[in-house]
Amino acid sequence: MAAHQWIRSGCDRVKGMAWGTGFQNGQNPELKIEGDKRTPAGVYAIGPAFGSEPDAGRNLKMPYVPLTATHVCVDDPSSNDYNQLVDRAKVRNPDWKSGEQMREIPQYRLGSVIQYNTESLDKKVGSCIFMHIWKGPAMGTAGCIAMEEVPLKEALNWLDSSRKPVIAMFPEEAYRDLQNVW
């Protein structure tokens, strides 16, 4: 895989993308907000891989979280664990009212966390953004990046946490504007 790999997003085809935190251009762009089902446009670190197979991360060069029945990604803005992938069994007093039950979602049998809204946590701009397996080419997501399983496996095998991998997610028009600058 090349140093840069272009993958078409499986983002929600109705909602599309909205500018993520830190990427506003001052022209009143549509901004990502919690629950809007839009993919956050911008450049973000790629965090740990995850999956339902305990040893699927054995050969990866990224940290790997083997999902159990108690893993949740908390999307409740009132929670202290907002935008965190946590093991509910290890949290003494869960304070969230909503979260994605990771093991129950077939598309999450393999994926990686996109580190969106993790640096200066803003509980209004969105949470739980992943790169994961898609439902199909015509199916969108609720803000994540999705692709076929084989290219996802290739990407995860290529990623190396020591090289601090990032993902650039932009609408095609913004990409065309930026490609010459970058």
Asked whether residue 134 is domain-assigned, the answer is yes
pLDDT of residue 31: 86
pLDDT of residue 26: 55
> Are β-strands 39-51 and 85-87 bridged in parallel, bridged antiparallel, or unpaired?
unpaired
Asked whether residue 181 is domain-assigned, the answer is no
Contact 158, 30 (CB under 8 A): no
Residue range(s) defining the domain that contains residue 146:
17-163
Domain count along the chain: 1
Asked whether residue 10 is domain-assigned, the answer is no
Asked whether residue 2 is domain-assigned, the answer is no
pLDDT of residue 170: 85
10-residue stretch averages of pLDDT, the chain, 182 residues long: 45 68 64 90 94 90 97 96 96 95 96 92 92 88 92 95 93 80 76
Phi then psi dihedrals of residue 21, to 5 deg: -55, 135
Distance CA 121, CA 132 (A): 23
pLDDT of residue 10: 45
pLDDT of residue 28: 55
